[in-house]
Amino acid sequence: MTMSSDCPSSPGNYPSDCQVLENYRTRVREKTGAETDPARKLALSRGTDIKLLLLDVDGVLTDGNLLYTSGGEEAKAFNTQDGFGIRLLRESGIETGIITARQSEIVARRAEELKIRYVYQGQKSKNGAFRQILTDAGLKPFEVAYMGDDWLDLCILVQVGLAIAPANGVDEVKNAAHYVTEKSGGSGAVREACSLILEAKKMLPGLLQKYTNR
């Protein structure tokens, strides 16, 4: 059992909440070692100012595949870990938004479930929606992170403080991004982006302790 002077043991045979959290941190340090990825260092430095995360949908919140029922209705699959990451941002005072070229009732429903504040659908040119969100939120571009996977996202990616692409993004988008996630859209890429922002703002330890102690 790993212990420190700031983390006393609890009576009996069970570890205290403090010990559980400290053991978790030790295990993470052992697995990751020193931070050596220059792109991640850059992303963490840029993430400190972020107050809003904007997301594309297809290829980011989903895997990009379009599914239709026999009746012609559209279906999409969303990742629950992505949803929890968005929840963690909201709990930390960081708003989220969606800007997508397609129009979908399913997206509107998912956005409502996750309490996503800004939802712009049917945006063939996304810059107008981006500018409107900046005005409504009272933010500067450097205070915004954006995650997109294709050319329609480039007009925003080149403006924001933190540009993120999922692993499945096209090469041009990856080249424009400050950070490329290890995971693909619809498979935890958004959760990875959320965790990156929370880590940059040093909010992860407090959130982790909150959920460890539940």
Q: Provide φ and ψ at 99, rounded to 5°.
A: -130, 115
CA–CA gap between residue 192 and residue 187 (Å, rounded): 10
pLDDT at 68: 81
Q: How far apart are CA 68 and CA 74, in angstroms?
A: 5
Going residue by residue through the chain (214 aa), what tens digit of pLDDT does each one get? 444 556 666 555 556 667 666 766 666 665 555 456 899 999 999 999 999 999 999 999 999 788 787 777 777 889 999 999 999 999 999 999 999 999 999 999 999 999 999 999 999 899 999 999 999 999 999 999 999 999 999 999 999 999 999 999 999 999 999 999 999 999 999 999 999 999 999 999 999 999 988 7
User: What are the Cα distances from residue 80, in Å, to 43, 76, 187?
Assistant: 24, 13, 9
Q: What span, in angstroms and rounded, lies between the C-alpha atoms of 183 and 193? A: 10
What pTM was estimated for this model as a whole? 0.82
Q: Give Cα separations from 94 to 87, 109, 152 (angstroms).
A: 9, 20, 24
Alpha-carbon distance of 154 to 127, in angstroms, equals: 10
Closest CA to 151 of 172, 125, 165, 177: 172
User: Would you give the DSSP letter of residue 6?
Assistant: T
Give the pLDDT score at 25: 67
- Token reading at 204: 């992860």
Residue 20 pLDDT:
65
Q: Give the residue from 37, 49, 96, 43 showing the smallest Cα distance to 201.
A: 49
Q: How far apart are CA 106 and CA 27, in angstroms?
A: 39
Report pLDDT for 72: 75
